[in-house]
Amino acid sequence: MKKQFLPVTRQEMKDRGIEQPDFVYVIGDAYVDHPSFGHAIISRVLEANGYKVGIISQPDWKDEKSIQEFGEPRLGFLVTGGNMDSMVNHYSVSRKRRQADAFTPGGVTGKRPDYATVVYCNLIRRTYKKTPIIIGGIEASLRRLAHYDYWSDRLKRSILLDAGADLISYGMGERSIVEIADALKSGIAVEDITFIDGTVYKSKSLENVYDAVLLPSYEELKADKKKYAESFYTQYCNTDPVTGRCLAEPYSEHMLVVQNPPAKPLSQTEMDQIYALPYMRSYHPSYEKMGGVPAIEEVRYSLVSNRGCFGGCSFCALTFHQGRQIQTRSHESMIAEAMQFVWEPDFKGYIHDVGGPTANFRHTSCEKQKTKGVCKDRQCLFPKPCKNLTVDHRDYLTLLRKLRALPNVKKVFVRSGIRFDYLMYDRDDTFFRELCEHHISGQLKVAPEHIADTVLQKMGKPENAVYKKFAEKYKRLNQQLGKKQFLVPYLMSSHPGSTLKEAVALAEYLRDLGYMPEQVQDFYPTPSTISTCMYYTGLDPRTMEKVYVPVNPHEKAMQRALIQYRNPKNYALVVEALTKAGRTDLIGYEKRCLVRPKGGKGGDARPDTEKRKGMQKPRVQKPRKKKTIRNIHKKKQ
C-alpha cells in the first residue's frame, strides 16, 4: 500500500474509505508525520493496531466548529498541546512573548492558545459532552498532579481537572494509548479504565485503588509549601516503572486524582517497530504554500537512538517524562531509517545528529536497573559516579562507524548533547578520540551549566573540577589530531542556590576563558523538575534544607548581565551587581576588571581588552538553534 498522510479533512477521510474515525487527534502543532514528533508516533502506533485516526491540527479555539471536522469519533478524542509545553513555546523566561513558533507553518505565532491542552479540551466538551477525552504529550504529562505554574505564579490543580478530560496518558505513551484504545473498543466505560500503567484518572474514593500512597490534599499543598516539597519528592521517587507505586492526590472528600505507576520501558524490538512505521517524514503538503514547518529542518536528517536519561539534572523534566532507564534502537533500525533519506535530492551528505536526550547513553547505567529499577535515594552520576555504573561507549562507537560508512554520507555529527562526566569516566579514549576526529563540526557544545560547586550541587551536576579535566583532555586530543576545534559551554544564570557571589565567580571564569556567550540561559521554572520545586518552595525536596532562590526579576537580570558583562547595554546592571556583591575591585582599569568606571579614560565603560598587547579577542558564541528533535525538553524547557 502506498504511504500517505493521515486524514486532516473530512474529504481526505472519505477518500480513504473511512466513514467515522475511531479517534480524532487534536494537536497544538502543525501536523508533521516524522518520528521526532509525538503526535506522529502515537497516531501511527494506533493505525498499526487497526485504529482509524483523523488529525485536527491547531484548531481555532474561538470557534467550536473547528473541532467538528470529522464529527464525533467512535471511541474518543486525543489531545496534546504539542512537542513543547505551550507556555514555554509562547514565552521566554522573562515572560515576554516569543516572536516565532517553529512548530507552526511559516513559523508564525498565535496559532495555538496559552495552556493549549486545557483550552482544546474545554472546546471539545462544549460540543461533545460525554465523548471520552484522553490527553497526553509533554504539557499534560508534566502537569499530571498539582504543580507550580510559573506563568501565573501559583500552584495549579492536576491538568486532568482543569481540562475536564477523562484520562492522562503520561510519559512516552505508546503502550498506554493502545491499552486505552483496546479497553474502549471492548466496551469498557472510560471511567472504569483505572488499571493501565502510565495513566492518571479521577476516582471518588480509594476503595478500589490498590496499594496507593496518599499524598497531601490540594488544599494542604496550597497552604504549606513544605508539604508541597515533600509531596513532590514522593512523586519523584515513584517515577520508575519497576519500583513506582500508585499515587493518590485528594481534591475534595469525593474527588481524588490517581496516578498509576509508569508504563514499562519498550524493548529494543518494540522501539524498532515504532520507528519502522510508515512515516511520511515531512509536514503535510497543505503547509507548503505557507512556507513549511521550520521545526522539521533540525530533524529531517537526524536519527533518534535512545530515550531516557540517568543523568538526573535537577532542572530537567526527563525523569518525570521519559524516565531514568535507557531505551535504545538497534543498529539495523537506525541504518534502515538513514537509508530512507541518504539518496534524497536535498540530502547534502550530512547526518545532523545521532542521539537523544543524552547522545552517549546506549544502555542502562547498571545491570541492577533491569530487574530492581533505579535507586530511589541516589543518582548514577551525582555527586560521584556510582560504583555499579557501567561506562562503555563501544556500542555507540560501532553505530557511528556504521553510519559514516553508508553510501552518500560525508559526515555524521553528534549534536544532541554529550554527557561529559560520563565520557571522562571511560578509561578507553577510543570514543573520545573518534568523536573529535569525525563527529564535531568545529565546536562541541556541552553543558557544565556553572562553575560554582555550591550551585552545581543544587543542579545535580558534577563538580567543576570534572569539567576542567574534560576541557583539558578535549584540547589535548584535538592538538594530537591537528584539529582546531572549540568547546562551547552552555551556562545558566539564576538557578536556585546562585547568589550574586556565584554569578560574579562565573563572570570571572568567562573573563579568564576569553569567551563571551552571545546567549544566556536564565533558569526557567517549568513543571515537574526538582529545580522548579526549589524555586517555588525555597526548599531542596531531597534534603528539605533551605535554598537561596533568586526570584526577583531585577536580581535575575543582574545575574544574567554578569555573564554578558562586555555588552554595553548591561553596564549599569553589571556595576550594580558588583557593588551589591562587594566586588567593586572588578570595576577599574586592571586586566582582571570586568568593567571600567563610568566616564573613565577613553569614554569606554568596559576594559578595552581587544587592544591590549598579548590578549586575544574573546570568542563569541553563535546563537544556538532551537532543538526540536526531542518531544521533551531535555535542556531548558
Q: Across all residues in the chain, what is the average pLDDT?
A: 92
* Least confident window among 257-271, 506-520, 598-612: 598-612
Does residue 96 contact residue 60 with C-beta atoms inside 8 Å? no
Please name the residue ranges forming H helices in 279-429: 296-299, 318-321, 331-341, 369-372, 394-404, 420-424
**How far is residue 482 from each of residues 433, 476, 477, 478, 538, measured CA to CA in Å?**
12, 10, 9, 6, 49
Which amino acid belongs to residue 250? P
Amino acid 256: pLDDT = 97
How big is the chain by its Cα radius of gyration, in Å? 25
pLDDT single digits (tens) 130-151: 999 999 999 999 999 999 999 9
Q: Which secondary structure element, helix H or strand E, spans residue 344, and what is its range?
A: none
Residues above pLDDT 70, as percent of the chain: 94
Residues 586, 578: contact at Cβ < 8 Å? yes
The helix/strand/coil state of 64 is: helix
91-95, 174-178, 630-634: range with lowest mean pLDDT: 630-634
Do residues 144 and 231 make contact, with C-beta atoms less than 8 angstroms apart?
Answer: no
Instruction: Count CA atoms within 13 Å of residue 312 on its CB side.
Output: 29
In this structure, the strands spanning 76-80 and 23-27 are parallel
Length of the chain as a residue count:
637
The torsion region of residue 549 among left (phi > 0), alpha (psi -120 to 50) and beta comes to beta
pLDDT reading at 519 higher than 80: no
- Neighbouring CB atoms inside 10 A of 608's CB total 12
Give 357-376 pLDDT, tens digit per residue: 999 999 999 999 989 999 98
* Maximum alpha-carbon separation in the chain: 82
Q: What one-letter code names the amino acid at 234?
A: T
Percent of the chain scoring above 90 in pLDDT: 89
pLDDT digits (tens, 9 = 90+) for 299-338: 999 999 999 999 999 999 999 999 999 999 999 999 999 9
**Cβ proximity of 481 and 436 under 8 Å:** yes
**Do residues 171 and 198 make contact, with C-beta atoms less than 8 angstroms apart?**
yes
Structural contact between residues 561 and 494, judged by C-beta atoms closer than 8 angstroms = no
Q: Give 248-303 pLDDT, tens digit per residue.
A: 999 998 999 999 999 999 999 999 999 999 999 999 999 999 999 999 998 999 99
* Res. 186: pLDDT tops 90: yes
Which residues face 587 on adjacent strands? 595
Model pLDDT, residue 2 = 82
Q: What is the pLDDT of residues 190-232, one digit of tens each?
A: 999 999 999 999 999 998 898 899 999 999 999 999 999 999 9
Structure pTM? Answer: 0.92
Question: What is the per-residue pLDDT for 247?
Answer: 98
The answer as to CATH 3.40.50.280 being correct for domain 10-199 is: yes
Region of 126 (left: φ > 0; alpha: ψ -120 to 50; beta: rest) is alpha
Closest by Cα among 511, 522, 341, 350 to 449: 522
Query: Taking 80 as the threshold, does the pLDDT of residue 632 lie above it?
Result: no
What is the C-alpha to C-alpha distance for residues 36 and 101, in angstroms, rounded to an integer?
17
- pLDDT tens for each residue of 28-75: 999 999 999 999 999 999 999 999 999 999 999 999 999 999 999 999
Whether 634 has a pLDDT exceeding 50, the answer reads no
Cα–Cα distance measured from residue 301 to residue 345, given in angstroms and rounded to the nearest whole number: 12
CA dist., res. 95 & res. 100, Å (int) = 15
Name which of 97, 507, 494, 100 is nearest 315 in CA terms: 494
Domain ranges of the chain: 10-199
